A and B are shown apart, each in its own frame.
Chain A
C-alpha cells in the first residue's frame, strides 16, 4: 500500500481519538450542567462542593462509579446482561462519526473537522440509533426483573413508534437539499446566514418541532422518560445494574442527547454556519477562520442541550397511552403533511 493510505489511516485514528475524548468529556460535563440547571430551576444550588462551582464533580462521580463493586445478580442471563451496556454505549458513540463539526478544511486530502463524510450520513445516524434500542431491550430482559422488563418493553415500543415520526420529519430537509450527506445539508444552508437555515428560510419549523419531540422520545428523556419512570418502575431497565455497567447506560443516554442536538443543529440550524452569513468580515488568520465555524456549531449544540435540561425541569411525564397517541395520531400525520406541503412548494418553485 502507498503512503497516502497510511497517512489517511493515521489522521483518521487521531480524529477518532480526539472526538471520542471530547465527546466523553462533554458527556461528563453535560451531566454537571444538568444537575446545576435543574438545581437552579428547583430553587437550589446543585453540586457546589467539589472544585469551584462544582466543576470537578464529574471527576468525583467517575472515580466513584469506577470504584464501586460490580454486582451481577444471580439469576440474570449473563451473556446478554454484560453485552447490553456495551451495545448501548457503542451505538451512542458511533453516530458522531458522520457529524461535520466545522467548515471543511482539507489537509493531505483529509477533512479535518469530520471523521468521515458518508453519502448516506443521515441514514447512518438513523440506522445506528435504531440499533441502539437493543441495548435497552436486552438489558431489561436479561436482568430477570419485572421492573426492568417493563422498562425495556416501554422503551422498545416507544423508540419504534417515534422513529417513524423522526424519519418522516427529516424528509423535508432532505428534499430541500437533494442529498443525504450531512456535509451537503450544511453547505446548502451556509449561503445567507440565518435566512438560509432550514428552520427560518426553508420553512421547516414544523419538521423541526416534530424532530425535536420525536428525538426526546428516542433518547428516553423527560417528558418521555417512561422506560425509567422512578415512581412506577424503580429505575426501569437499569435497575439491576451497578458500577461501570450502570455508568455505561448513563453515558450512552447523554451521548445520545449530544448526537441528537448535533443532528438538530445540522439539519435545521445550519450546522457550523454563522447566523450572520457574510455580514461580518473575515477577521483573523487561517486558524481563526477554521475554528470560528466550530465555535458556532458548539454554541448551537449547547443551546439544544440546555433546552433538553430546561424541558426536563419544566414538563411532567406523559402517561403511556398519551405517549402512543401523540406519536401515532399527531406527529406522524403532521410529518406526512409537512412532506406533502414541502414537495408542492418545491414543485411550484421549480416551474
Chain B
C-alpha cells in the first residue's frame, strides 16, 4: 500500500517537475510547481514526517506559491517564446549534467551498503517528538535560525522601502 502510494506520488512529482520546464506559460509552470510541492508533502507523510508534510502544504503550496501566482496574475505575464537554446548549453551543459548524474549514480551504487535504510510507513515522528528535539536539544540553533530569518525579512523591507 505504502509502496503503491510512493510510486504514484513520486511519478506525479517527476511529471510535475518536467511539466514545469516544458510549459510555455508561467502560470502553468507555477501550477506544476504546486503539484510538485504537494506530492513532496505526501512523500514526507509516507516517511512518517507528518508535521513536515503539513508545513510543506501550508507554507509552500498555500503561501509561497499563492504569492507566485499572485505576481504572475498582477504582472499579467504572457507566454514565453521558444528559442533554440544557447550554444553554451549544448557544449557544456549537457555533458556537465551527464557527468554529474554519472558521478552521483556511481557514488550511490558503490557506497549503497554504508547508507542507512528508511522503510516506508514504518515509523512516525509525531509533532511532540519533533518539538522536543527543536525546543530542547537544538534550542540554540533553532532560535539563531529564526533570528537569521527575521534579519532577512528586515533586510527585504529596508531594500524595498521607498526613500522619504
Contact = CB atoms under 8 A, between A and B. Distances in A.
Interface of A: 80, 118-120, 123-124, 126-127, 129-131, 133-134, 137-138, 140-141, 149, 152-153, 156-157, 159-160, 163, 167, 178-180
B62 interface: yes
Q: Which of B27, B53, B62, B72 has the most CB of A within 10 A?
A: B62
A163 B63 contact: yes
Contacts of B74: 153
Given A120-B51, A120-B127, A156-B70, 4 more contacts: A127-B62, A129-B62, A131-B57, A134-B34
Given A127-B57, A130-B58, A131-B57, A140 B73 contact: yes
Contacts of A80: 27, 31
A123 B54 contact: yes
Interface string B72-111: 1110000000000000000000000000000000000000
Nearest to B50: A120
B61 interface: yes
A130 B27 contact: no
A82 B31 CA distance: 14
B152 interface: no
Interface of B: 27, 31, 34, 38, 50-51, 53-55, 57-58, 61-63, 66-67, 69-70, 72-74, 124, 126-128
B69 A120 contact: no
Nearest to B70: A156
25 contacts: A120-B50, A120-B127, A123-B58, A124-B54, A126-B58, A127-B62, A130-B58, A130-B61, A134-B69, A137-B66, A137-B69, A137-B73, A138-B69, A140-B73, A141-B27, A141-B72, A141-B73, A149-B73, A152-B73, A156-B70, A160-B66, A163-B62, A163-B63, A179-B128, A180-B127
A123 to B, nearest CB: 4
A333 to B, nearest CB: 15
A170 B74 CA distance: 32
Given A137-B73, A180-B127, A123 B51 contact: yes
Q: Which of B66, B124, B126 has the most CB of A within 10 A?
A: B66
A131 B61 contact: yes
B126 A119 contact: yes
Contacts of B63: 130, 160, 163
A77 to B, nearest CB: 8
Main secondary structure of the interface of B (DSSP, over half): helix
B135 to A, nearest CB: 11
A118 B61 CA distance: 20
Nearest to A180: B127
Given A130-B57, A131-B62, A160 B67 contact: yes
Contacts of B128: 178-179
A126 to B, nearest CB: 6
Contacts of B31: 80, 138
Contacts of A133: 62, 66
B28 to A, nearest CB: 8
Contacts of A126: 54, 58, 62
Contact of B54 (A127, A141, A152, A156): A127
A205 B131 CA distance: 26
B63 to A, nearest CB: 6
A141 B75 CA distance: 11
Nearest to A123: B54
Contacts of A159: 66
Given A134-B34, A178-B128, A156 B69 contact: yes
Contacts of B38: 131
B20 to A, nearest CB: 16
A282 to B, nearest CB: 33
B160 to A, nearest CB: 15
A131 B35 CA distance: 11
Contacts of B55: 123
Given A80-B27, A163-B63, A157 B69 contact: no
